[in-house]
């Protein structure tokens, strides 16, 4: 089976398993786990932020970030295709009382700056108070598009004019950096906070980091605890995360090359509709004819052919390349795709 459902299916490497087995541990809620502290220090260094916080998941990283930036009844401006809006159960609203204000995501994952500007609330008792702008990089539902530093700087400039903060959901920020050939720090510099995942393309089993200013992370640590995310001998997780950051970022370009090859092959198939030029990282979305077989039926047929993909709409599916998927796997997968889609 060639599993292209998500880069979350990646398994920890041998080096990660060894590091986990021999990790030096302590009680991290008491601030005494040296391996967690080392991971947080490395994450802060790589992102160029003052401090970082290890949390169990990307969803919790975003929730903690929003809770730390916004109070109840305050508003976050975010894209209508944002993971935070689409796939996190509306947690910032249900848990934090934070009001979401969506603006359309463009196909490249950006939000038009004039639309964001027009969405910032005036000081009027009818309105919630705008507190935060949230961006996503790479943008999952927008073909995995990377947002460049120039765009992030423009968002930050607008935010500064209105005394707003900027949070970046950087679940795949290392993919963005690899695709744009810039450093993660270049992408993180304009924003106040960012989250990123160890457990996707970087292949660690568990964990995300929240990064930002020291006082922000101090409050984020309190919010992690109230959500039940304070972990004790968490060095066992952090040990794999350290290997992920040291050994697994340079190879992401392989995933991007495989995704582009996959997209080019798929685009030649009669029933698959996509523009391979939009595939800059490791995510390939394929649209199907609305009159033809549904995404669910197509996914089932592909599974019978030995390829797993994920339905993302009634007539759309997604294929994601990752560690463990080779160039040969892509060629094999394309033969299976051809039997269903050509
Ligand atoms: C996967 C993902 C998350 C959430 O990560 P989990 O660890 O699955 O909770 C957040 N944002 C984006 C863009 C993602 O793709």
* pLDDT digit string, tens, across residues 57-66: 999 999 999 9
Task: Tell how far the Cα of 172 is from the centroid of ligand 1, in angstroms.
Answer: 8
Q: Which atom of ligand 1 is nearest to the CA of 139?
A: 13
Pocket perturbation via mutation, ligand 1, pick of 63, 78, 83, 205 by most ligand atoms within 8 A of CB: 83
Protein residue closest via CA to atom 3 of ligand 1:
58
Task: Tell how far the Cα of 122 is from the centroid of ligand 1, in angstroms.
Answer: 32
Task: Tell how far the Cα of 59 is from the centroid of ligand 1, in angstroms.
Answer: 6
Task: Tell how far the Cα of 328 is from the centroid of ligand 1, in angstroms.
Answer: 28
Task: Tell how far the Cα of 54 is from the centroid of ligand 1, in angstroms.
Answer: 15
Task: Tell how far the Cα of 93 is from the centroid of ligand 1, in angstroms.
Answer: 17
Give all domains of the chain, ordered by start, each with its CATH number.
Answer: 10-247 (3.40.640.10), 251-341 (3.90.1150.10)
- Blockwise average pLDDT, block size 10, the chain, 342 residues: 97 98 98 98 98 98 98 98 98 98 98 98 97 98 98 98 98 98 98 98 98 98 98 98 98 98 98 97 97 96 98 97 98 98 94
| Ligand 1 neighbours by CB, cut-off 6 Å | 57-59, 62, 83, 136, 140, 169, 171, 197, 199, 208
Taking the CA of residue 22 as centre, how many other CA atoms within 13 Å lie in the half-sphere pointing to its CB?
Answer: 7
Of 48, 46, 20, 49, the residue nearest 35 (C-alpha)? 20
Q: What pLDDT sits at residue 137?
A: 98
CB under 8 Å to 165, separation ≥6 — which residues?
69, 131, 132, 133, 159, 192, 193
Instruction: Tell me which H or E stretch contains 134.
Output: strand 129-136
What pLDDT, in 10s, does the model give residues 234-275?
A: 999 999 999 999 999 999 999 999 999 999 999 999 999 999
Q: What is the pTM of this model?
A: 0.98
What pLDDT, in 10s, does the model give residues 153-167?
A: 999 999 999 999 999
Pocket perturbation via mutation, ligand 1, pick of 87, 204, 209 by most ligand atoms within 8 A of CB: 87
Going by their DSSP bridges, the two strands 193-197 and 2-3 should be labelled as: unpaired
Strand order in the sheet with 283-287: 283-287, 316-320, 310-313
């Amino acid at each position: 089976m060639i599993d292209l459902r998500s880069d979350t299916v990646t398994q920890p490497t041998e080096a990660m398993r060894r590091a986990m087995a021999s990790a030096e541990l302590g009680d991290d809620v008491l601030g005494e786990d040296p391996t967690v502290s080392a991971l947080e220090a490395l994450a802060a260094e790589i992102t160029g932020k003052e401090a970082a916080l290890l949390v169990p998941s990307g969803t919790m990283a975003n929730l903690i970030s929003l809770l730390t930036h916004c109070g109840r009844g305050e508003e976050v401006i975010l894209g209508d295709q944002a993971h935070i809006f689409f796939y996190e159960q509306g947690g910032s609203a249900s848990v934090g009382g934070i009001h979401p204000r969506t603006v359309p995501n463009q196909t490249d994952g950006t939000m038009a700056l004039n639309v964001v500007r027009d969405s910032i609330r005036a000081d009027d008792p009818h309105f919630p108070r705008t507190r935060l702008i949230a961006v996503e990089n790479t943008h999952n539902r927008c073909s995995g598009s990377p947002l460049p530093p120039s765009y992030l700087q423009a968002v930050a400039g607008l935010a500064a004019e209105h005394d707003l903060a900027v949070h970046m959901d950087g679940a795949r920020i290392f993919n963005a950096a690899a695709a744009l050939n810039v450093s993660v720090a270049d992408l993180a510099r304009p924003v106040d906070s960012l989250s990123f995942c160890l457990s996707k393309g970087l292949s660690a089993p568990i964990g995300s980091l929240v990064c930002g200013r020291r006082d922000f992370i101090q409050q984020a640590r309190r919010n992690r605890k109230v959500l039940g995310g304070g972990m004790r001998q968490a060095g066992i997780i952090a040990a794999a995360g350290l290997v992920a950051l040291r050994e697994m970022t340079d190879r992401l370009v392989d995933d991007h090359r495989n995704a582009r090859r996959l997209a080019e092959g798929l685009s030649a198939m009669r029933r698959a509709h996509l523009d391979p030029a939009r595939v800059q990282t490791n995510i390939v979305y394929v649209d199907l004819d609305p009159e033809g077989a549904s995404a669910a039926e197509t996914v089932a047929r592909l599974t019978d052919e030995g390829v797993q993909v994920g339905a993302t709409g009634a007539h759309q599916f997604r294929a994601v390349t990752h560690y463990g998927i080779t160039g040969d796997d892509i060629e094999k997968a394309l033969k299976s795709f051809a039997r269903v889609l050509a």
